[in-house]
Amino acid sequence: MILKAEKVTRQFNRVSGSSNIFFAVHETDFELPGGLLTVLEGRSGSGKTTFLSMLSGLLRPSSGNIYLDGADIYAQTDKELSRFRNDNFGIVPQGQTAIATLTVMENVMLPGTIYGLDEGLREKAEKLLDRMGILDLADVLPKELSGGEIRRMAIARALIRDPKVIFADEPTSDLDDANTDIVFDILKSIAADGKAVLVVTHERNADKYADRMYRMDAGVLMEC
Ligand SMILES: Nc1ncnc2c1ncn2[C@@H]1O[C@H](COP(=O)(O)OP(=O)(O)OP(=O)(O)O)[C@@H](O)[C@H]1O
Ligand SMILES: [Mg+2]
């Protein structure tokens, strides 16, 4: 299993006084293989989320292509692409993304309900919550969780459809060292299951967790 980016770029048009088109991501080739934890670090505004959004089927590149096992993901219609994302990608977005009115269990099951109900959904969710160490919190609302517990819930939700690729955007940004270790250990164990895992982070010593390290600097990607 491999996700490939070929010559992708992303431009944005920032209208501030005068209109100004700029590259958030310059032309980039990149491969994300299964079985490894790949970490992408870089300053705020360097283009990390933009790059991750293109890889994860959420943002069409301005040019270039993204391939999952040889299939061009953006050759699909938006409707097909939504379904494809739900089938293949697990995404832990930047920031707080729990649905406040759903319980932890319901939040985790949600991606498995969108295109009809997945078989054994509740059992799968229970297993994942157990693996994340928060099964006892299954029936509470997200507002009762700590920051670290919320992150683990978001990772469980990203795993619920057994995706090939996991994307996590700053999954430890608001966590202390102990919780950062827990979250990275979980992400490493997901990679050890054979999935491709890409983590975007500000974490200074993320290299201790990473199998591969990349750096984004003003829209330019470099392997470290
Ligand atoms: N939809 C958009 N329209 C215009 N500009 C955008 C848009 N999204 C992002 N940008 C700009 O593109 C650049 C890269 O943004 P991006 O969110 O990818 O950065 P980042 O590396 O993820 O930063 P952070 O670490 O703060 O999350 C920034 O200058 C940002 O302002
Ligand atoms: Mg970002």
Q: Which of 8, 21, 40, 50 to mutate to test the pocket of ligand 1 (most atoms within 8 A of CB)?
A: 50
State the pLDDT at residue 6.
Answer: 98
Question: How do the domains of the chain map onto residue ranges?
Answer: 2-223
Which one of the ligands is nearest to 93 CA? 2
Task: State the Cα–Cα distance between residues 107 and 126, nearest whole angstrom.
Answer: 12
Distance 149 CA to ligand 1 centre (A): 27
The pTM assigned to this predicted structure is 0.95
State the pLDDT at residue 42.
Answer: 94
State the pLDDT at residue 1.
Answer: 87
* Nearest atom (ligand 1) to Cα of 94: 27
State the pLDDT at residue 122.
Answer: 97
pLDDT by residue for the chain (224 residues), tens digit each?
899 999 999 999 987 767 789 999 999 999 999 999 999 999 999 999 999 999 999 999 999 999 999 999 999 999 999 999 999 999 999 888 899 999 999 999 999 999 999 999 999 999 999 999 999 999 999 999 999 999 999 999 999 999 999 999 999 988 889 889 999 999 999 999 999 999 999 888 888 999 999 999 999 999 99
State the pLDDT at residue 17.
Answer: 66
The architecture that CATH gives domain 2-223 is 3-Layer(aba) Sandwich (3.40)
Task: State the Cα–Cα distance between residues 133 and 108, nearest whole angstrom.
Answer: 14
